[in-house]
Structure 1
Amino acid sequence: MMEVFEAFHLIRPFWLLAILPVVTLWYAIRPKDTRASETQNGVAPHLAAALEVGGGALRRIYPIDGVALLGILLASAAAGPTWSKLPNPLVAETAPLVVALKVTSSMETPDLAPSRLERAKYKILDLIEARAGARTALVAYAGTAHRVSPLTEDPKILRPLLQGLTPAVMPVDGDNAGNALQIALDILATAETPGAVLFALDDLNPADVDAMNARDEESPTPLVFLVAAPSGTNLPQLDKVQGATVVQITTDDSDLGAIERRVRSAHAAALAADDRLRWDDRGWWLAWPAALLCALWFRRGWTMRWVLALLTLSFIHTPTSARAGGWIDWFLTPDQQGRLAFEDKEFAEAGELFEDPLWKGYAKYKSGQYEEAIAIFARLDTAEAAFAQGMAEIKSRQYRPAVRSFETAQVRRPDFPEAARNREVAMAIVEYVETTREQSDTGEESGIGADDVVFDNEAARGAETQIEAPNEDAAPLTADQWIQSIDTDMGDFLRSRFLLDNAGDG
């Protein structure tokens, strides 16, 4: 909540000057109570109060009071109150999270049934499910730390990997949380948006406190510690980690709520510090109390003909190009309506509502109308538009044009790491497609998609090969089925991976 107050400001503060004529008009028109002085002249105050008729009516609310309050609300709305920025619609709207799980013999203590490690796994899975659509990565550590999974939105990929993590698969005993933090930071460095690191542990080696505090001082990555130990366990070393949030594991979901609130808060703060994003104008929120005030004008005795005349004139001078969307057009602009539809994931509707060309293109892109989005972005001359055009071209398999679009984005804004990275990805796709076409006659003119089959017979040139085709009704393997199809046990698979990691480091 404090982040909201710190970020609160007005986008167009000069509109507050409109409050001055509103207050002046209110003061000039509102009836004055002059009878009291006339009545009390020469009469005792208590007798004057008894003789006065209709005194309560003098203190009632007049129609001009409602008009003045309406004017103040509208001026405040026009000033553009805001406390958060519009997220980039081309990237995930939630912060990426790296979970670092401690996998040691101490985590197998059964004081948290069935064990500390298993309880931590359950909580991690519940957290991933609660963060549906957000990307999560997994790191395991003991004496050494290892990347288990990159950032992914699919909990089905993480579930079998989590289940395979036991102390037996870790190649070195110990407690090296500092190494796990470095791997987590490296993973987050590849994400488009700032993220956070969650440690699930039962204790922290005091020697790792300095490593935790050595994060970037200007923009430190938020750390959250989920303590997988019985309630009341005291870990004083966690209090020495600067800017960390400590959450005690619970039997309900309150611990997950605390973690998610901290991650969301950090994500909102990071967006507010990003100068490339626009502020989210929340002035339309004030339209609803303004509408309720307008409803009071239907009360008998409250009709103010001169106000109705002004409203009539304003409707007469409304541009003829305005949409006829019904009563909602009285309170929300087309872009505000488009924003509401965008937040409700109604991207096709948002694409029709938006007048802002950049957001119209974003909505078209999100709804899968890539050609329309490309046409819109091509007419804009900003780096963001060129970047978005490249993304739409990638989706429509126009890889070479995508490379040019990302290059244009870099020219328009040299400090654009996302464009540079996507350009490299697009160039790699182009190279792969061209190489595959040279080696196989199954390539397509529009490129080779994820569902295309390519036969590479380079190793057995001229030899007859037999491929057993699947049944026509065969369904593709799910992530769980694919993991289960591995011949070795998941624990053996992970242990082999971790041993190779250690051999590579050596």
Structure 2
Amino acid sequence: MTGETAMVYLDAFHFLRGWLFLAAIPVVVIWWQTRRKSSAAELRSDWIAPHLAAALTVPGNSSRGVQPIDVIALVLLLLIGAAAGPTWSRAPAPFAAQTAPLVIVMQVTPSMEGTDVAPSRLARAKQKAMDLLELRAGARTALVGYAGSAHVVVPMSEDPGVMQPYLEGLSPDVMPIEGRDVAQGFALAQSLLAREASVGGIVFLLDELAAADVAALEDTSATGASVSQEGAAEDAPPAEGRKVASLSFLYLLPEDAALPSGPTGSTAHIVTPDGRDVAAVERSLASAYQRAQLDNEAQPWEDRGAWLVWPALLLLLLWFRRGMAVRWAAQMAFVLWVLQPQVAHADGWRDWFLTPDQQGWIAYQNKDYARAAEAFADPYLRGVALYRGGQYEVAAEEMSRLETADAAFIEGMAHLKSRGYRDGVRAFERALALDPAHEAAAQNLPVSKEIVTYVETTREQSDTGEDRGIGADDVVFDNESGKGVETQIEASDEDSPEAHLSTDQWMRTVDTRTEDFLKQRFRLEAAQRKSAETAGAQEAEQ
């Protein structure tokens, strides 16, 4: 854990059930009274001759040392603290990535071919991009290249192998327009992050940032996404819809060069021969991502009370020492156990150490979804576990009882998995009614509507009920409106030429040199943008 992340957690530290600290009052009172009696008894022993006092005193029972009441009081206070539910982080969202998405924006201009940074600025930039991919261990990352125009080299992907050949193919020759348009590269990176489910970061690999570029980035971030939580202006737009949590600049300059200034709230570094610069960028991104996660009120806080149970158990080992037992301590421990809220109860020895949700999360991480669903006390987490375990109908019923957009979205996905497409449409519509900005529901709603329309049209046109498919794989749709007759269609063949390819699959099919492919694609994109700008200008004149 870095120092920045530790400070984020320290700011978020609080207790979920702080009222349980009232139980510490009788513990402290009894401890104080017991210690006073012990001190008074020691004072009375001063009235006796020393050789008689030594014979009448139990060894080690001095009030100046550690007494049994001290150990027991400390154990009880630790148990009270554990029952109060210390927390400093949110429970990870089951459907969200655990690391922030990142867009690498690389300057690809003739100045990047300078050799003052060996072997060249551009070659070092490519090396640092690969170092970032390795450090992030498969997190979602995209690559943007810019000169006089900006282009998406590789869209968001979790596979570093996809990015490497296109990263190597970048050179000033493939860029269609000369120049250094930093603002266009930033805007394109923003558009990529806007499609992600969580906030992310942007890192620039460049050799120069002019004052005009700094002003342009300030203006762009003020009207779009925030640069950072700390750097956002008071009169900036609301945080809803903002996706840029971290903005970093990695300058391809000699180590003794002056560090250029950047936009408010951003971080800047000069490349180093080792990985210190890349690690600093990742730390800044992780800190900003954790802070954004803590601000997400839709996620429950993670109870960390188990951390205090273990030291209490270690101290209880002293219970077996002679003279360490205190009669009322067991009674107080029983009372604390009764007072601790227990919404659900899972069988086994784990109940003494972990809450039901903690047990459920351990099972969930181990992909034991059936056991996780049984252990979870939180209905949302239980519904997610049911969904992951393939119990779609039960998961949909569980989520239908919750009035949150995320629960409605998972309900819709469960209906789609169980082929209840019309119910899925209703669930997605409910999710958008609860949260109009819910991107996943907005993306799946039109798709599910198209499926329903296709089913009704297909069955309306069919009047024989014949099986149109020729293969063994069938897909059965619901037909709530009763149009047409029951029929079956063949599942789409992934190997057919008409099947849609993902961006990564399409890139792998390119049968030409990477440089030539990028050059042609960038020229086509630049021409299309110019045509769109010309058409827009003509419409404005009319």
TM-score higher than 0.5 here?
A: yes
Partner residue in 1 for 2:208: 203
CA RMSD of aligned residues (A): 3.7
Tell me, in whole angstroms, the C-alpha distance in 2 between the residues paired with 1:381 and 1:113: 58
Partner residue in 2 for 1:121: 126
Partner residue in 2 for 1:489: 513
Tell me, in whole angstroms, the C-alpha distance in 1 between the residues paired with 2:250 and 2:46: 72
Tell me, in whole angstroms, the C-alpha distance in 2 between the residues paired with 1:211 and 1:386: 40
Tell me, in whole angstroms, the C-alpha distance in 1 between the residues paired with 2:60 and 2:302: 47
Tell me, in whole angstroms, the C-alpha distance in 1 between the residues paired with 2:113 and 2:454: 46
Partner residue in 1 for 2:483: none
Tell me, in whole angstroms, the C-alpha distance in 2 between the residues paired with 1:430 and 1:133: 36
Tell me, in whole angstroms, the C-alpha distance in 2 between the residues paired with 1:490 and 1:434: 45
Change (3 A) 1:268 1:313: closer
- What's the CA shift for 1:388? 1.2
Is the CA contact (8 Å cut-off) linking 1:143 and 1:175 kept in structure 2? yes
Tell me, in whole angstroms, the C-alpha distance in 2 between the residues paired with 1:311 and 1:317: 10
Residue by residue over 1:390-446, the C-alpha shift from the partner in whole angstroms, topping out at 9 and shown as x without a partner, is: 233445555443222111222344554442333234335556778899899447335
- In the alignment, which of 443, 468, 475 is matched to residue 444 of structure 1? 475
2:117 aligned with 1:109: no
Tell me, in whole angstroms, the C-alpha distance in 1 between the residues paired with 2:416 and 2:130: 32
Change (3 A) 1:486 1:119: same
Partner residue in 2 for 1:76: 81
Residue by residue over 1:257-300, the C-alpha shift from the partner in whole angstroms, topping out at 9 and shown as x without a partner, is: 22222111111111222222222222222111122122221223
- In the alignment, which of 271, 283, 288 is matched to residue 305 of structure 2? 283
Tell me, in whole angstroms, the C-alpha distance in 2 between the residues paired with 1:251 and 1:198: 18
Tell me, in whole angstroms, the C-alpha distance in 2 between the residues paired with 1:484 and 1:416: 32
After TM superposition, the structure 1 stretch with the greater mean CA deviation from structure 2, 347-356 or 428-437, is 428-437
Is the CA contact (8 Å cut-off) linking 1:284 and 1:336 kept in structure 2? no
Counterpart amino acid of residue 364 in structure 1:
L
Is the CA contact (8 Å cut-off) linking 2:144 and 2:154 kept in structure 1? yes
Tell me, in whole angstroms, the C-alpha distance in 2 between the residues paired with 1:2 and 1:58: 39
Partner residue in 2 for 1:332: 354
Tell me, in whole angstroms, the C-alpha distance in 1 between the residues paired with 2:491 and 2:135: 31
Tell me, in whole angstroms, the C-alpha distance in 1 between the residues paired with 2:381 and 2:258: 50
2:257 aligned with 1:233: yes
Tell me, in whole angstroms, the C-alpha distance in 2 between the residues paired with 1:452 and 1:225: 42
2:292 aligned with 1:270: yes
Q: Which consecutive residues of structure 1, in runs of 5 or more, have no partner in the other structure?
A: 457-476
- In the alignment, which of 167, 172, 177 is matched to residue 172 of structure 1? 177
Change (3 A) 1:435 1:165: farther
Alignment of 1:148-187 (within 5 A): 148-187=153-192
Change (3 A) 1:320 1:289: same
Partner residue in 1 for 2:26: 21
Partner residue in 2 for 1:33: 39
Change (3 A) 1:431 1:108: farther
Counterpart amino acid of residue 356 in structure 1:
D
Counterpart amino acid of residue 299 in structure 1:
R
Tell me, in whole angstroms, the C-alpha distance in 1 between the residues paired with 2:280 and 2:504: 30
- Aligned residue for 2:111, secondary structure, equals helix
- What's the CA shift for 1:483? 4.0
After TM superposition, the structure 1 stretch with the greater mean CA deviation from structure 2, 488-497 or 341-350, is 341-350
- What's the CA shift for 1:95? 1.2
Partner residue in 2 for 1:473: none
Residue by residue over 1:149-198, the C-alpha shift from the partner in whole angstroms, topping out at 9 and shown as x without a partner, is: 32222223222221221111001122111111111111111111111111
Partner residue in 1 for 2:482: none
Tell me, in whole angstroms, the C-alpha distance in 2 between the residues paired with 1:120 and 1:426: 43
Partner residue in 1 for 2:443: 421
- Aligned residue for 1:374, secondary structure, equals helix
- What's the CA shift for 1:141? 0.5
Is the CA contact (8 Å cut-off) linking 1:160 and 1:483 kept in structure 2? no
Is the CA contact (8 Å cut-off) linking 1:101 and 1:138 kept in structure 2? yes
- In the alignment, which of 134, 137, 153 is matched to residue 142 of structure 2? 137
Change (3 A) 1:349 1:283: same
Tell me, in whole angstroms, the C-alpha distance in 1 between the residues paired with 2:334 and 2:16: 29
Partner residue in 2 for 1:474: none
Counterpart amino acid of residue 255 in structure 2:
S
After TM superposition, the structure 1 stretch with the greater mean CA deviation from structure 2, 157-166 or 479-488, is 479-488
Counterpart amino acid of residue 97 in structure 1:
L
Change (3 A) 1:125 1:454: same
Alignment of 1:39-50 (within 5 A): none
Residue by residue over 1:13-40, the C-alpha shift from the partner in whole angstroms, topping out at 9 and shown as x without a partner, is: 2222222121112112334323665577
Q: Which consecutive residues of structure 2, in runs of 5 or more, have no partner in the other structure?
A: 1-5, 223-231, 478-488, 531-542
Tell me, in whole angstroms, the C-alpha distance in 1 between the residues paired with 2:490 and 2:510: 27
Is the CA contact (8 Å cut-off) linking 1:203 and 1:235 kept in structure 2? no
Tell me, in whole angstroms, the C-alpha distance in 1 between the residues paired with 2:371 and 2:493: 29
2:75 aligned with 1:98: no
2:301 aligned with 1:295: no
2:15 aligned with 1:10: yes
Residue by residue over 1:192-233, the C-alpha shift from the partner in whole angstroms, topping out at 9 and shown as x without a partner, is: 111111111222233210122231434564201122333222
Tell me, in whole angstroms, the C-alpha distance in 1 between the residues paired with 2:403 and 2:505: 47
Tell me, in whole angstroms, the C-alpha distance in 1 between the residues paired with 2:396 and 2:528: 44
2:178 aligned with 1:147: no
Is the CA contact (8 Å cut-off) linking 2:15 and 2:86 kept in structure 1? yes
Counterpart amino acid of residue 338 in structure 1:
G
Change (3 A) 1:372 1:155: farther
Count of residues in correspondence between the two structures? 477
Tell me, in whole angstroms, the C-alpha distance in 1 between the residues paired with 2:510 and 2:86: 55
Change (3 A) 1:232 1:324: same
Partner residue in 1 for 2:540: none
Please report the TM-score for the alignment, with normalisation by the length of structure 1: 0.82
Change (3 A) 1:484 1:356: closer
Change (3 A) 1:424 1:149: farther
Tell me, in whole angstroms, the C-alpha distance in 1 between the residues paired with 2:113 and 2:497: 47
